[in-house]
Amino acid sequence: MQNNQKIIVLWGGSGQIGRSLLRRLTEKDYRVIIPTRFPYKNLHLKVLGNPGQIDLIKNLDMLNENKIKDILKNADIVINLCGILFENKYQKFDDIHSKFPALLSSFCERFNINKLIHISALGVNKKNKSKYMKSKLQGEKNILNFKKSVILRPSLVFGINDNFFNKFASIVQFFPVLPIFGGGLTKFSPVWVEDVASAIIAVLEKEKIEQNIFELGGPETFSFKELMEILLKQIKKKRFLLSIPWGIARYQAKFLEIFTKTILTEDQILLLQDCDSVVTGHYPGLKDLNINGMTVETVLPDYIFRFRDSGQFNRD
C-alpha cells in the first residue's frame, strides 16, 4: 500500500449507503477503515478494494471513547452513516444518533480531521414528536460543533437493498390488503442510493464548502399512497389499499411491538404523521453538487422484479 494514501474512517460501512459508497472510495485510492461489530460477517466488503486497502476493525461499543480515539487518531476524513430505524435493548436512538455524533465531532476537533461528513435525514425539525427525529436533530447540533463538518439530509433512500420497497413488496406476498396510514398523505422525495453515494463523493472532494447542510431529494415527490401504487404496478399485483387513521395505526404498532419491531413501531407512526420527507429549498441539494437524480420509476424495475410471480422472467 502507498504511504501517501488518505485514510477514511467509514462508520456504518456495511449498510445500504456504505456498500454503494465503498467501491467509489477505493477507486479514488483512499484507504478505508470500517469499524463494525461483526468483521467476520462483512468480509465480502474487502473485495471492493485492493489487498490491504480496506480494514475491518471490531468495535462492539460505539460510545467507548478510548476505542473511538484509537480508530480516529490517524484518520484524514471521517464519514458517519450510522443510523437505526427502531430501538432494541442494545441500540437506542439517543446513543446512535446523538451521543455518538457528539463523540465524533469532539475527536475530529482534537485530531484536526480534514472533514467530517454526517448522514442525517430530511424532515428534521423541532416539532416532530418521534424519538427517531428528535435524536437526529440533536445529532446535527452535536456534529456542527466541529466546524469542518458537513451534514447530508437524504429523503427516503431506495435501491436494491432498501428497507422500504423491499419490505412492502414482501408484505404484499402474504396479505390481500396493504395498510395506508393516515390516508397515505405523507410526502417523500425518494433518492437513489447511488445518488447519495455520489453526493458524499462530491462533498468529500469539494475543497471549499460554503454551506454545512445539504438536502438530498430525488427529482420527484410522491405521497406514501402513490409510492404503494407504483410498487404494486411494478410487481404486477393488485391489493386493496386500506386507509388506517393515525390513532388506530399507533394502537396497532404498539401491539406489533410486543412481538417484533422490524415491521412497524409506534415511533415510526409518529414520524410519518408529523413530517414530510421533502426538500425545503432552504439548503443546497443534488443539483448544486452537479448530480441529476434518478427517478423511482427508472430504477425500481431493475430490482423489484423478483417479487413478481414469474420473477426475472416477467419484466415487461
SS3 70: helix
Query: Residue 258: what pLDDT?
Result: 76
Structural domain contains residue 250: no
233: left (phi over 0), alpha (psi -120 to 50) or beta: alpha
Structural domain contains residue 84: yes
Cell of 111: 485530531
Residue spans of the chain under pLDDT 70: 1-3, 261, 311-316
Burial class (CB in 10 A: 0-12, 13-18, 19+), 245: exposed
User: What is the spatial distance between Cα 135 and Cα 75, in angstroms, rounded to a whole number?
Assistant: 26
Structural domain contains residue 180: no
Query: Residue 56: what pLDDT?
Result: 97
Query: Residue 2: what pLDDT?
Result: 52
| CATH code for the domain in which residue 113 is found | 3.40.50.720
Structural domain contains residue 264: no
Compute, in degrees rounded to 10, the torsion defined by CA atoms 18, 22, 28, 33: 90
Query: Residue 88: what pLDDT?
Result: 87
Query: Residue 159: what pLDDT?
Result: 97
Structural domain contains residue 199: yes
Q: Can you give the pTM of this predicted structure?
A: 0.94
Structural domain contains residue 267: no
Structural domain contains residue 146: yes
Range of the domain at 93: 7-156+191-217+278-293
**How many domains is the chain partitioned into structurally?**
1
Query: Residue 315: what pLDDT?
Result: 56
Query: Residue 275: what pLDDT?
Result: 83
Structural domain contains residue 224: no
Q: Which helix (H) or strand (E) holds 138?
A: helix 131-143
Query: Residue 314: what pLDDT?
Result: 58
